[in-house]
Amino acid sequence: MSIEVKELSFAYKKNVPVLHDVSFSLQSGKFICLLGPNGVGKSTLFKCMLGLLRGYNGEIIIDGENIRGLTQKQLARKVAYIPQSTAPVFNYTVSDIVLMGTTSLTDGLSSPGRGKRLL
């Protein structure tokens, strides 16, 4: 998987930019660590890359495709996200959460088949 971010800018309020002309590229097989103090835009960057925030300027390209042209299902087949901390409503097991990652591979309201279930 390759990820390229080109001149990404984002502001929650019109005159308060959180991200300004951020550009980088990542290639398959590489690890990266994003560090910085609270409030500098790390989570905002990830939310833009995941398609959760759409009001950005610039380009986010995953495997050669601009994510603006992808449906939510197509994007879900390329990226996944589990937040650092959550307050789940139900007592999901790790297996349940991993199985939820196969949702983009099913049709409509069908459930994952035997091949996707963890033993």
**Owning domain of residue 98:** 82-119
Query: Which range (25-34, 48-57, 101-110) has the least confidence?
Result: 101-110
Give per-residue pLDDT as tens, 23-37. 999 988 888 889 999
Q: How many CB atoms are located within 10 Å of the residue 116 CB?
A: 13
Query: Does residue 27 sit within a domain?
Result: yes
Residue 76 lies in a domain: no
3-state secondary structure of 93: coil
Confirm whether 105 is domain-assigned.
Answer: yes
Q: What is the pTM assigned to this prediction?
A: 0.74
**Same domain? 61 vs 119:** no
Query: 54 Cβ partners below 8 Å, 6+ apart?
Result: 68
How many structural domains are present in the chain?
2
102 touches 116 (CB < 8 A): yes
Domain with 37 in it: what CATH number? Answer: 3.40.50.300
Shared domain for 18 and 66, answered yes or no, is yes
Is there a single domain that holds both residue 111 and residue 87? yes
